[in-house]
Amino acid sequence: MNEQTQSPIQSAIRPGLIIGLVTLVLTYLAYFIDSSLLASGYFGLTALVIFFALIIFFGKGYRKEVGGFLSFGAAFNFSFFAILTSGLVGLIGNILLFQLIDPSLPEVLSQITFESSLEMMEKFGGNPDTLSPEMLEQMRESSASNFTLGGQLKGFGFGLIVYAIIALILAAILKKRDKSLDY
């Protein structure tokens, strides 16, 4: 590594901001097109594929920038901090969307999520009619709590574990060892 190359953490900030802004633009586009898309599994899957593609794209760019080889540790640091930065941008954008721009949106999305849960239960052979009213209310409250400010912050906290697991997977993809040093 030459003297002017930044650390993996420093190099991850810019890609993380870009990825965060891209996912935020996708979220806001989905909101403006049809807010129910935000509760769609297809939207989530599409955003996840774009997210992975961008992290790999920027990771390969970083690997090339540091000479074409990247240790697992450096790849993990780059991936984790890019994901963390992206997550912070997304969190701020979602808080703005759910708390300031459209405070009624969490209620709409929690209802859609609740209904989707019941449909999923039926697809797997369960009967939602057998659930007690208390259980149904608990499911409804659980769906609604994910969209509150506290729920979003709590989700981000738990998301750190998921970010680390994703970063481990991405580090395994991005690492590249200089085999000429083996001899």
Q: Is the pLDDT of residue 2 over 70?
A: no
What is the Cα 165 distance to its own chain's centre? Answer: 12
C-alpha span between 107 and 90 (Å, rounded): 20
Q: Both tokens of residue 48?
A: 């996840």
Which one has a higher pLDDT value, 111 or 130? 111
Q: Is the pLDDT of residue 128 over 80?
A: no
Q: Is the pLDDT of residue 29 over 50?
A: yes
Q: Which residue has the tokens 């709409």?
A: 108
Average of per-residue pLDDT across 122-130:
75
In this structure, the number of other CB atoms found within 10 A of the CB of residue 76 comes to 21
Q: How confident is the model at residue 129 (pLDDT cuts 50, 70, 90)?
A: confident
Comparing 1-5, 19-23, 174-178, the range with the smallest average pLDDT is: 1-5
Q: How confident is the model at residue 182 (pLDDT cuts 50, 70, 90)?
A: low
Helix (H, G, I), strand (E, B) or coil at 5: coil
C-alpha span between 61 and 55 (Å, rounded): 10
Q: What is the DSSP string of 70-137?
A: B-HHHHHHHHHHHHHHHHHHHHHHHHIIIIII-TTHHHHHHHHHHHHHHHHHHHTT--GGGS-HHHHH
Residue 121 pLDDT: 79
Average of per-residue pLDDT across 92-101:
94
Q: Is the pLDDT of residue 3 over 80?
A: no
> Whole-prediction pTM value?
0.83
pLDDT tens for 132-160 read: 778 878 888 887 788 888 889 999 999 99
Reference 161, options 96, 80, 89; nearest CA is 80
Which one has a higher pLDDT value, 55 or 127? 55
C-alpha span between 22 and 114 (Å, rounded): 28
What value does the mean pLDDT of the chain take?
A: 88
